[in-house]
Structure 1
Amino acid sequence: MVMPLLRHRLATLTHRLRHSSAAAATPKPPILYTADTTADATATLQVLSWGKGASGQLGGGVEETRLYPSPVANLAVPKSSFALSQTPGRRRLLPSPPKRALEVGLSCGLFHSSLIVDGALWIWGKGDGGRLGFGHENPLFVPTLNPHLDNLLSVALGGLHSVALTSDGEVFTWGYGGFGALGHSVYHRELFPRLVKGSWEGTIKHIATSGTHTAAITESGELYIWGRDEGDGRLGLGPGRGPDHAGGLSIPSKVKELPYPIAAVSCGGFFTMALTVDGQLWNWGANSNYELGRGDKIGGWKPRPVPSLENVKIIQLASGGYHSLALTDDGKVLSWGHGGQGQLGHGSIQNQKIPAVVEALAHENIIYISCGGSSSAAVTDNGKLYMWGNANDSQLGIPGLPPVQSCPVEVNFLMEDDGLGPHKVLSVAIGASHAMCLALRESS
């Protein structure tokens, strides 16, 4: 990390941190970022959250349950030059945004949340294990600027840990390291972000994590992985994978059995999925609930393609605890695996042995997908948000649903009297009992 750049970033963002702390006590959401441009050339991006927030993960400043999406923060961004930051499991179809483009992204962990804007990390929620990266284990109930990281491209929040990727291609991890998910060759907690010193050549371009394992992809498409394994093979390393401790491996190791360069990776509860540069899906690990989509329950460490998807181009993967989603290049959502909480969206609670189209969304052009442990979400090209699965804790953002919602339902947003127009959702992230989205709101 270049210290002059870090000092410059801290100086320019200190006033935003002060403003957010003062505004958190009022109903009006704080403005965490203001573009250096004229007012008529800016648009408002709004961060909204809903679900259970007893640990502060909703960002509203109090212990609460939000029945429907409610604003957490506003960002005044340039209308013509902002983009979504890198998303775990999603391969870039277009060249990377210009260096001057503002990138914004969300992530939800087990009980914590984060926002990246202009390379800076805002993070909040439960602090156990040091997962917030401030040097302590206290919770934070409002978005708070982390001064120990800067120049970020992507963040992936896990169960009790967090992972970040910088624009220089460096990976930092922090939080609870008991299962090796931090990749530092040790198994204790890290209260501050710490650089992962992998054996890879070149730089990292993509990261992903889950409850207890983490993955990173190099510029040349090599996949490195570390964390908990315990016999189900989710690391994809096979016999003789190296030293470990209590079922975990805290040394980044190359997945050697992948014959093609990898563009994106997604870490599920006990399995892993990877996308090749041409959009082919490979996966490995546990399969007792048909998570691998091969038509049987035979799992294993060795990466293999999904037979029914060999002629299907995939642009994004999303992994839940025991289920999987894939987004095709023609805007269709596929799902498979465990369906007991309705998370597959097929109108039943049956398991699905092979990938199947979510027919309730077939009339929409889907551009973004997300999974929680037992829930799912999709965003359409015109900014509508659909959710389905486990509806406990109001995690689906739709009051009055039964505990199991097995068909996608559109999430409706309450219109705020704030001079802004309707919500056009751009992305969504799901945690253990809460969710967030990023929505564009033009002036009325």
Structure 2
Amino acid sequence: MSLVSSIVSGRVAIRNSKEAAIDLLLFLFFAGLFCRGAAELFVSRGIALMLQFTLVMCVAALTSMLNRGYQFTPRHRILLWLLAPFAMVSAASCFLTEQLGFDYGAFYLAFNLSLGVLALAFARLTSGRLPVANLHQILLWWGWALFLVGLQDQLGGMRMPGYSFSGIMRPASLTGSYLHYPLVMALISLICFEWAVQARSLFYALSSCLFALSTVLVFSRSGVFIIGFAILCAMVIQVLRGRRAGLYWAMALGTVVVLTVGLGMSGGNSIAARAAGRIVSAVDSGSAGNSGRIVAWWQGIDLWSNTNLLVGEHTGKVTNMTGKLVEGHALTIVESGPIQQLVNFGLLGLLTFYGFLISLYFMIRPEHVYLRSAYIAALVQTSFYQSIEAIPYITLLVLFPALSDAFDIKMRGHIKKRVTFSEASRYAPNI
């Protein structure tokens, strides 16, 4: 008996050590993902970007190998079938671009292909042999870290790299960009809300609301759009499933929209009125930023129409990323994810890339309504803004299926803990 117990305890110890190792690796993964701005305190933006990319990919590979070895799952096969056409098309686009005299398309090609590699690496998290259910807890910690650093930035503390002034200061927090920070906070807010609903956690619910509020406080139309559209999607899904929660969301969303429009049109000078005005201006084609964005869309379509159309000839030219890595290159920006991929990789590249992203939606478990809603909202948001190359944002999106699996693993353990001794005793045999 002692031999059996020692073997069991040894297996438990090994399992716990692996879980601790994966938790540490995931913490480092998100550190690389969210802390480019902190790195820019010591090195240039280009070097910080390369360090971010390298750390994220290396940690993802280590996490994957520690979890499942090299065993492939059905999800791996699906992802490979979806990624193979995009890899071939994008490689052809890169080759044509280099033939025309631009030698830096490989940077953007590598970034796009790395998203597929990350999806493959984290597909291993579906294994029940080694639960990785702490994924959302680690994200919660980082959400609070980002929020607190951003808040001190707004209150006049240490200015982190990437901040901007627009009426009031728009902080970058640890991310290195005032544009990336609200996008990340919007996604973390919705992830926390999903777990708050699943586990009935008040702390996660309050954290979700606070993170959502942070996107308003930094005047981010993108962040507010993601949260608002996700609520709309959740409402529609709940109504279609015949659940009363959809009606509650409809009333809540309607109230918020009316209040926001009213505040935005009031012309007041309070922070609430100015933030509401900024949000309402998202639908005004003549507002600050929107007029130039629409012009950039048409310029991008015109640029694509003068190529071979199918596979593109401008890989790496229409992106911010190459400009950050290669000094002295003024590159075109089109302010739209689909148009950016259209110009870089052609029509086939656009269809295969977004086909891959859309397929990830169906890998999110149907019961995780708010994760699915957040994913839809985030994908739609990329149509109007150039956010598909925001590394923290697009990487979080790729991880949504893994988050869904982690929630499922955690909930199974959570439900088991709810079974009390008195409930279990009902099934005990009478002696």
Is TM more than 0.5 here?
A: no
Q: Is the strand fraction higher in 1 or 2? A: 1
TM-score range, shorter chain: 0.3 to 0.5
Task: Give 1 or 2 for the bigger CA radius of gyration.
Answer: 2
TM-score w.r.t. structure 1 length? 0.32
TM-score w.r.t. structure 2 length? 0.33
Q: Is the helix fraction higher in 1 or 2? A: 2
